[in-house]
A and B are shown apart, each in its own frame.
Chain A
Amino acid sequence: MSRRAMRGCARLAPLVATAALTAACQPTLVDEPWRVRGPRVVAVRATPPEASPGTEVMLEAVGLSPGPAGSADPASNTGWSVCRRPKPLAESRVVDPACLFDPVDQVGNPVKVTLPADGCALFGPDPAQPAPGEPPTRPRDPDATGGFYQPITVQWGDEPTVALVRISCDLPQASGAVAREFRARYSANQSPVIADLALQVGDGSLASPWELPPGTSATLTLTPDPFSAEAFPVFDPLAGVLVDQREALAVSWWITGGTLSFDARDPADASTVLWRAPDEAGTVEIVAVLRDSRGGQDVRRSMVVVR
């Protein structure tokens, strides 16, 4: 977008002479959030993706490094810390940043983590009972899917990563009848499933293992399992009723080499992207992440040999 904006400004410049207004312009930024510049965790798979506080979940960090493929997998040196600090209401980010610097609770990958039993009090709608004479505290707000999340910090590589595990809590602000109906109708989230990940050059799909000449342009396509998007009820606090929603699926990409281009006509749909292989021979790792709007994820990791 930035380069387009600059080109737009260049087109606009002659209009100054015709007494029109000129526009503000954005700087040219290298905006490649999908590029892995150093070792980092790019996804965390939680099994199950939604669990009750006090129960165990299996967490697996998926890491990438721009070095030789598989040279720096997050394994025994991956640190995990379970956040117990709710973020202030004014905090726009998903976690209180102080949790990023918590001491490590466990090391390894994958790990079994026991979710704090008071998760719904810390991060959910069940505020702690006030002391006698004290006013009650405000319940936490859910996300757009009605969910509450336990933050867990993963320390490996250059940047910390925060995993958010959906926790099953009661409904805030709902009547007893609506809460009962919710319990009866709501099913805990299941992770979406990647049905296929294909690499196409021209009209033909490449068979695995993938090999390409340097500089080749290819199309990466992720196909989700058709049953990945589940339906679930969400409480509407203004109307006081349950509203049915269906999960939205989104796709993210991470690569260690080459360049990705997204479809400018529909930037919200990243299931198909154009990948241009690097000009030098080598091995490129690609991670595709399919996620649903309730925090479930499936991850597919592939390797492409460029020669």
Chain B
Amino acid sequence: MTRRHAKLRGAAFLGGRGVCWRALACAWVCAGAITASGAIAMAAPSYSTVVRAGGGPPQPVAQALDAESASAVAGSGGDAVVAAQGLTGVARPTPGATGLVMWGAQASESAVLYEGMELPALYHQGGFRATTGAALVGRIEVVPAAFSVAHGRSIGGLVRVDGRGFPAAENALTLDASTLDVGLAAHTTSPTLSLAAAARVSDLQATYGTFAPAATTALFPVPRYADAQAEVSRVFAGGGKLRLLGLWSHDEVTKIFGAPAPGLGPRQEHLRLSWWRVGLIYGERRDDDGLASLMYVGGEQSSDERRFSATPTLRDESALSVGAHLRYRVDLTSALQTTVGLELLLQRGLYRQTGSATVPAREGDVGTFAQSPGDDINADRWVVRGGNVAAYALAAWRGGGWTLSPGLRLDAFPVDGDRSVPSVGHTPQVGYARLWWALDPRVALIYRPRPGLVLRAAGGIYHRAADAGDRSAVFGAPALAPARALHLVLGGWCDLAGAASLDVDAFFRAMDGLPRRSTLPAPLLGEALVARGAGRAFGVSATLRRELALGVRGWATYTLSRSERALSDGGWRLFDGDQTHVLTVVAARGWGDWSLSGRARYATGTPRTPVVGAFLDARDQRAEPLFGVQNGARLPAFWAVDARVDRRFVAARWRLTVSLDVENVTGHRNAEEIVYAQDFSSSGYLTGPPLLVLFGVRLEV
């Protein structure tokens, strides 16, 4: 079987014997083990990885999930992108997290793409739902590290969300209602034209918000969110496809904390984020070979307002971005394929901040939960124009069971701003302009010595420009250089006896040039942040997939890792999101119109800096903590068991699915934060929900 025969057209099902978790890698290399199918027929969640594999060389350590299968995973709440939280190498998200921590890189160091368009957040506030919606999502791919030169602007991992394809000549309307939100989706297709749209809005205020006491919502506030997606696509006679995509997302949440001391008002934090993207995608051929292009524009607005006693803090951001990605892929010979591409992202942002320089919190900040920010305040308003222009070339040579994919990416990171130092009186402000270059070589080597065994190694250099929001002359540093990372991965996949497969990867990631706060007692002007942070992460991830007796299928993922950040004195401390052990076990079974799934999770508690004493601030009449070793303690380990049951009722013209998704069925009280008495004389754990019950109804007409 040639590679081109094995290449999957449209949706393909990797199932049965020879299931490969690293789907994309296997789709390319273990072609003989793949069963291809043109349609997804899901009577029950199979947990097999379903991909729409592109024609290019694979991401060596990618994991891809089919949305329809993933949405039936226990704990996903019916949102496929949420199921990605249980993939190998992904740390258990902290409550309310809007991104994924992958192999020791914080969420903001990774990139989130929807059909190639960069998104500011993967999840809505609360972490229950994806900002991309669920109705039009077809596939989620998570690459924790070592991705190819076709992607940049990330020193962590990569999350790719792709739209789904709809069967030809179909009209459908779907109403989705749950205790989280209400959504409506519709699509209509013809052989050449397809229209699809979806929208959903949270109803948590009417469900959870009605009953939740305000005092319990500090860690789990009631978020308000909404999102909408639309897609128009046209297929041309030559096989080319043109797609027009639109995405919109809105989030709003208010966190209420107690008073820091008697006589002071309660602390409040109000967050708001809205963003949109409109993109035009053209693919010359359906299998992603030939010319593929993407152009998009987008905007985002966010605000973070905190009222912590006498220190109000406000941060507003408003940005417009234009992106483009042009790629051409061609088989030069039967054994050699080349890909060249150009990528462009330009952004213009207007930022305003008043308040403490310690807001917003950054990785490495030492503090307690809901601690008031510093009482010294300042203000700044700054404009930043910047972005990234990149060119890359990627080759893939195959022969004798070997696949070698070397690539080279040249990045330019231009930036200019209106203020290089804080303004003083009527002195004319002095702007700045910088240009950084980066050359990133990356390589992936995959070897298949025999059927059922794949060995792989990958690595490379990665760069990521500093956030424009960090380029304040007062609160940040206008001249922050891009951060850099080295990724190394060594692993393999093997087909075990008994319908099982095992995937193992050892990884190492080193990062430098990370923006961190200046630790100097007197920082230089315009250098409240310095690009001198460094980090390292290493460990092993493993995935075991097995078909059990009685038709039960399941997988188990385990990651052993350690992630550290450099201290200013040369030592190392634990990364704020470090989790030594992360274990997830998923099992599922279907009976006709019923499907059952269960999930068990275990994760080491994240690090915390212990409070070892206190002193009194006599001016404010408030106790302040004395800290021990930074990240010298951990929260207790997290564990939970989740269950989900779906029942489908099918008639000639409609289909109704009723689901019940219960997280933490044992009611175990997992510690999520440490809270202290106002004088720090005692402490306790703020625990997560004892039980999270999500009831959903989905009607498809």
Q: Interface of A with B (CB < 8 Å)? A: 1-2, 4-5, 7-9, 11-12, 15-16, 19-34, 37, 40-44, 85-97, 100, 127-128, 135-138, 140-144, 149, 154, 159-164, 173-176, 178, 236-238, 240, 248, 250-253, 260, 262, 267-270, 289, 291, 293, 295, 297
Contact = CB atoms under 8 A, between A and B. Distances in A.
Contact of B618 (A127, A137, A161): A161
A127 B521 CA distance: 11
A262 B263 CA distance: 8
B677 A93 contact: no
B602 interface: no
Nearest 10 A-B pairs (CB), nearest first? A27-B684, A8-B213, A175-B425, A270-B263, A5-B215, A90-B517, A141-B376, A23-B216, A252-B621, A268-B265
Given A87-B521, A248-B310, A251-B263, A162 B678 contact: no
Contacts, number: 280
B684 A92 contact: no
Interface of chain B, main secondary structure: loop
Interface stretch (B20-28, B254-262, B271-279): B254-262
Contacts of B467: none
Interface in B519-564: 519-528
Given A20-B211, A34-B262, A137 B522 contact: yes
Contact of B213 (A11, A43, A174): A11
B450 interface: no
A90 B615 contact: no
Given A141-B357, A162-B615, A237-B422, 6 more contacts: A11-B213, A27-B675, A29-B683, A94-B375, A138-B522, A159-B616
A166 to B, nearest CB: 9
B163 interface: no
B613 interface: yes
A90 B212 CA distance: 35
A138 B262 contact: no
Contact of A252 (B216, B263, B525, B626): B263
A226 to B, nearest CB: 19
Contacts of B266: 267
Interface of chain A, main secondary structure: loop
B379 A238 contact: yes
A37 B375 CA distance: 28
Most B CB contacts (10 A, CB to CB) among A143, A291, A297 go to: A143
B321 interface: no
B125 to A, nearest CB: 15
A262 B258 CA distance: 13
Contacts of B688: 24
B678 A24 contact: no
Contact of A85 (B311, B521, B619, B625): B521
Contacts of A31: 677-678
Contacts of B693: 16, 19-22
Interface stretch (B217-225, B285-293, B407-415): B217-225
Contacts of A92: 356, 358, 365, 367, 371-374
A96 B615 CA distance: 12
B682 interface: yes
B425 A178 contact: yes
Contacts of A5: 213, 215-216
Interface residues of B, number: 96
B431 interface: no
Nearest to A149: B619
Contact of B523 (A9, A42, A89, A252): A89
A159 B266 CA distance: 26
B523 A16 contact: no
Nearest to B678: A33
Contacts of B681: 30, 37
Contacts of B219: 24
Contact of B262 (A33, A94, A248): A33
Contacts of A143: 310-311, 375-377
B511 to A, nearest CB: 20
Contacts of B357: 89-90, 141
B216 A26 contact: yes
Contact of A128 (B179, B522, B686, B691): B522
Contacts of A163: 618-619
B215 A19 contact: no
Contact of A25 (B216, B375, B523): B216
A182 B686 CA distance: 47
A162 B527 CA distance: 29
A39 to B, nearest CB: 13
Contacts of B618: 41-44, 154, 161-164, 297
Nearest to B624: A93
A20 B527 CA distance: 49
Contacts of A22: 689-693
13 contacts: A8-B213, A12-B211, A12-B212, A27-B685, A85-B521, A89-B518, A90-B357, A137-B522, A159-B613, A160-B615, A238-B352, A240-B423, A240-B426
A5 B257 CA distance: 12
A24 B262 contact: no
Contacts of A240: 423, 425-426
B410 to A, nearest CB: 31
Given A154-B618, A163-B618, A15 B211 contact: yes
A21 B374 contact: no
B687 interface: yes
Given A92-B371, A128-B522, A159-B616, A30 B682 contact: yes
Contacts of B212: 8, 12, 21, 23
Contacts of B620: 94, 291
Contact of A33 (B220, B677, B686): B677
Interface in B396-446: 422-426
A4 B365 contact: no
A178 B424 CA distance: 11
B218 A88 contact: no
A41 B220 CA distance: 37
Nearest to B424: A173
Contacts of A15: 211
Contacts of A28: 684
A268 B258 CA distance: 11
Given A141-B376, A143-B376, A250 B263 contact: yes
A284 B620 CA distance: 24
A43 B621 contact: yes
A267 to B, nearest CB: 5
Contacts of A20: 179, 207-208, 211, 693
Contact of B425 (A88, A176, A262): A176
A164 B379 contact: no
B679 interface: yes
Given A137-B522, A159-B615, A291-B619, A144 B310 contact: yes
Contacts of A16: 690-691, 693
Contact of B378 (A21, A137, A141): A141
A100 B424 CA distance: 34
A91 B677 contact: no
Contacts of B692: 21-22
A90 B360 CA distance: 11
A175 B695 contact: no
Interface string B346-380: 00000010101110000001010001111111111
A161 B615 contact: yes
A142 to B, nearest CB: 6
Contacts of A21: 179, 204, 207-208, 212, 689, 692-694
B672 A24 contact: yes
Contact of A238 (B354, B358, B521, B675): B354
